[in-house]
Structure 1
Amino acid sequence: MQFDYIIIGAGSAGNVLATRLTEDPQTTVLLLEAGGPDYRFDFRTQMPAALAFPLQGRRYNWAYETEPEPHMNNRRMECGRGKGLGGSSLINGMCYIRGNAMDLDNWASAPGLEHWSYLDCLPYYRKAETRDIGANDYHGGDGPVSVTTPKQGNNPLFHAMIEAGVQAGYPRTDDLNGYQQEGFGPMDRTVTPQGRRASTARGYLDQARARPNLTIRT
């Protein structure tokens, strides 16, 4: 068989790329994943409260190790990487924190990167997400990735942590991905409204699996 594109790795980037490319029915794509199939049959990979489980062992984690670290008694440190459809979005902590706007604007000051400013990237941030409390100038309402925001009163420890930060002199923010990114406030997470992990396999690949121009091999 021949394909227009062959994508190695069905992870956080590969699934997005495969989905977007196959929006054109004339473009054929082969998506290869060495880690195995979609592991959503194991509810522990989908339950936010069990986020540490997929990191244990090597069933869902390639568990790479660093070179010996001279400043850490020459120990090798584990570097988790997702194994299966979804890649590291299958095992990560589901934290949804965008890059700082000032960093993006600094990039845009370099030659050839003029269109990488925060305002240039913001439409694509918004396009990628569906936020559970609704769209606004900083968040989208019809994107493939489900984003949830903690609600007032749903966790007393969460509230206490924010208050402790404010009492220590740090600013309070209602949206770490909005106008004020600095400070203590609720952290968005890539979790569906039903309380399941919103990996790129769920958010992107699910909508593309049935396309005749996409072939997935695990």
Structure 2
Amino acid sequence: MSDRVVGRYQGKTFGEFDYIVVGAGSAGCVLANRLTEDPEIRVLLLEAGGRDWNPWIHIPVGYFKTMHNPATDWCYITDPDLGLNGRQLQWSRGKVLGGSSSLNGLLYIRGQHQDYDDWAALGNDGWSYKEVLPYFKKSECQSRGPDAYHGIDGPLKVSDLRLRREIAERFVDAAQQIGIPANPDVNGATQEGVSYFQQTAYKGLRCSSAKAFLRPALKRSNLTLLTHAHTRRILLEGKQATGIEFEHKGKRLLARATREVVLSAGAIGSPQILQCSGIGEPKHLTSVGVECLHPLPGVGENLQDHLQIRLVFKTSCKTLNDEVNNPVKKLGVSCARIAGAASGSAAPIHMNTPRFRPIISRKRKICGWRWMRSRWPGVSPKPMRSSR
């Protein structure tokens, strides 16, 4: 029997936990935080990627360095799509603590009310917009202050863009002139309209799910975090999930869950793990040599995503390096505005100044980390805390 056939589990037992959460991404970090609020609950959090030590993760415009980078991105490529004239698309998915929230463009968009209400109407109890709104408010620290749709007591920082360009203002005005309504809050009463978006950023730095939710939880002794832990399959006893088989540092390990196994490996990773575990459409599983333990035809089907079309123009508008705040001339060094373009940060980061150079130099990495930790609290090259 092939090693890929479900039912043969190899490896040593890593341990027993109340909950096993697979994937420390946008959702998994939240789950790890909420579950470990109870000190009696033991949680194992598995992440196939690495730690979020890379400084480009925390600089908002740094996604130009982290997307399509195999160290932080799964670097998926779609099959040829007839709707795109046979073209293939790069599909970035985070392979790091924080998941895609450590790579994305930082836009804070909840989605339309109607989508949630439709899910509830289809039989998904608890998923109407009215029912999920309290959780959005609980998670959020809104820079504009609290209202009927926003909260200020949560760990996820949400802020307005501080940068305003004349060309963007004209775009907003032009949209209104053709009948598109102005909407200062696309996460409020309605999503339709034109406005500046908000970001998951704070003081010019990214606020990923790992930074907002996981870092506070790592101080708790009842949370065990393993990075570079690649989940192979869910352990099943009948139709009950009892644990996880995974690989870590070249070893095959088993972890048992006394309560639940929670899949939060993303829209691609979660169905893949289910199929590798023998859960899915029987014919498809058989065709790839996996024994079907639980027929569930919907697994891996009906994925929908949005297309993004970027229009790039060259304009004569003033740049960030204006005459008033141009430290380049004062210092006499070359300067790259890393954070400002995406976050509206007033403080540029100088790539050629002595205090920043150690970060991008492997030979002086330790010195660089001392500077980073003073500038960005919580970013550290040291191993994550765990109870093991």
Question: What is the TM-score when the length of structure 1 is the normalising length?
Answer: 0.90
CA deviation map 1:43-86 (0-9, x unaligned): 32212233322113212111011223344454432111001111
1:143-162 superposed matches below 5 A? 143-150=154-161, 154-162=164-172
Q: What residue number does 1:36 align with?
A: 50
| Cα pair 1:176 1:186 within 8 Å, conserved | no
Q: What residue number does 2:109 align with?
A: 97
- Does 2:215 match 1:206? yes
User: Which moved further from structure 2: 175-184 or 101-110?
Assistant: 101-110
Q: What residue number does 1:15 align with?
A: 29
| Cα pair 1:89 1:200 within 8 Å, conserved | yes
Q: What residue number does 1:141 align with?
A: 152
Q: What residue number does 1:45 align with?
A: 57
Q: Name the aligned partner's letter for residue 148 of structure 2.
A: D
The offset of 1:135, in angstroms, is 1.2
Q: Name the aligned partner's letter for residue 157 of structure 1.
A: I
Cα distance in structure 2, aligned partners of 1:34 and 1:135: 36
Larger radius of gyration: 2
Q: Name the aligned partner's letter for residue 202 of structure 1.
A: K
Q: Secondary structure at the match of 2:205?
A: coil
Structure of higher RCO (CA pairs closer than 8 Å, 6+ residues apart): 1
Q: Secondary structure at the match of 1:107?
A: helix
Tell me how many residue pairs correspond in the alignment: 213
Greater per-residue strand proportion: 2
User: Which moved further from structure 2: 75-84 or 46-55?
Assistant: 46-55
Cα distance in structure 2, aligned partners of 1:202 and 1:104: 27
Q: Name the aligned partner's letter for residue 212 of structure 2.
A: G
Question: What is the TM-score when the length of structure 2 is the normalising length?
Answer: 0.52
Q: Name the aligned partner's letter for residue 170 of structure 1.
A: I
CA deviation map 1:169-206 (0-9, x unaligned): 111111111123210012111111x1111100000001
The offset of 1:114, in angstroms, is 4.8
Q: Name the aligned partner's letter for residue 209 of structure 2.
A: T
Q: Secondary structure at the match of 1:147?
A: strand
1:170-189 superposed matches below 5 A? 170-189=180-199
Cα distance in structure 2, aligned partners of 1:127 and 1:97: 16
- Does 2:127 match 1:113? no
The offset of 1:119, in angstroms, is 1.6
| Cα pair 1:54 1:60 within 8 Å, conserved | yes
Cα distance in structure 2, aligned partners of 1:205 and 1:134: 24
Of the three residues 160, 179, 189, the one matched with 1:169 is 179
RMSD: 1.8
- Does 2:139 match 1:125? no
CA deviation map 1:152-184 (0-9, x unaligned): x73333322211211221111111111232100
Change in 2 beyond 3 A, CA 1:68/1:21? same
Of the three residues 83, 108, 112, the one matched with 2:95 is 83
1:62-77 superposed matches below 5 A? 62-72=74-84, 74-77=86-89
Q: Secondary structure at the match of 2:225?
A: strand
Q: Name the aligned partner's letter for residue 217 of structure 1.
A: L
Q: Name the aligned partner's letter for residue 117 of structure 1.
A: S
Cα distance in structure 2, aligned partners of 1:114 and 1:31: 27
User: Which moved further from structure 2: 157-166 or 204-213?
Assistant: 157-166
Q: Runs (4+) of structure 1 moved beyond 6 Å?
A: none
Structure 1 runs not aligned, ≥5 long: none
| Cα pair 1:100 1:181 within 8 Å, conserved | yes
Cα distance in structure 2, aligned partners of 1:73 and 1:197: 36
Cα distance in structure 2, aligned partners of 1:101 and 1:186: 20
